[in-house]
Amino acid sequence: QQQVKQSPQSLIVQKGGISIINCAYENTAFDYFPWYQQFPGKGPALLIAIRPDVSEKKEGRFTISFNKSAKQFSLHIMDSQPGDSATYFCAASGGTSYGKLTFGQGTILTVHP
């Protein structure tokens, strides 16, 4: 009920391409869905987040698509750059886990020049 399943585990994209990472959740009480970017040896950095009252949110090259009925959300990175190579985590929070984040398993993104 509390799990967030993330796929793929790893992703290789050419420079300029679109990177797509998907997450699915079970707990319908979740109402906050952030994405974090983590570089090796560093803490995660909040990238973009969405609440279920909207189906899409865009910030620069990063877009979250949210499908409430399917209980899925995804991160799209447009015009992917080598500097985007990092591990990306989706997460969810809400309901009885207010304030606590449940993380997905992570996706290692590699963008080739």
Partner 1 sequence: GAVVSQHPSRVICKSGTSVKIECRSLDFQATTMFWYRQFPKKSLMLMATSNEGSKATYEQGVEKDKFLINHASLTLSTLTVTSAHPEDSSFYICSAGLAWGYEQYFGPGTRLTVT
Q: Which residues bind partner 1 (CB under 8 A)?
A: 32, 34, 36, 41-46, 49, 89, 93-94, 98-101, 103-106, 108
- Within 8 A by CB and 6+ apart from 55, the residues are 65, 66, 67, 68
Nearest to 73 by CA among 94, 53, 50: 50
Cα separation of 32 and 22, whole Å? Answer: 16
CB nearer to partner 1: give 44 or 74. 44
CB nearer to partner 1: give 18 or 46. 46
CB nearer to partner 1: give 18 or 45. 45
- Within 8 A by CB and 6+ apart from 83, the residues are 111
Closest approach, Cβ 46 to partner 1, in A, equals: 6
Closest approach, Cβ 42 to partner 1, in A, equals: 6
CB nearer to partner 1: give 13 or 23. 23
Closest approach, Cβ 84 to partner 1, in A, equals: 18
Q: Within a 13 Å sphere around the CA of 54, how many CA atoms are in the beta-carbon half?
A: 11
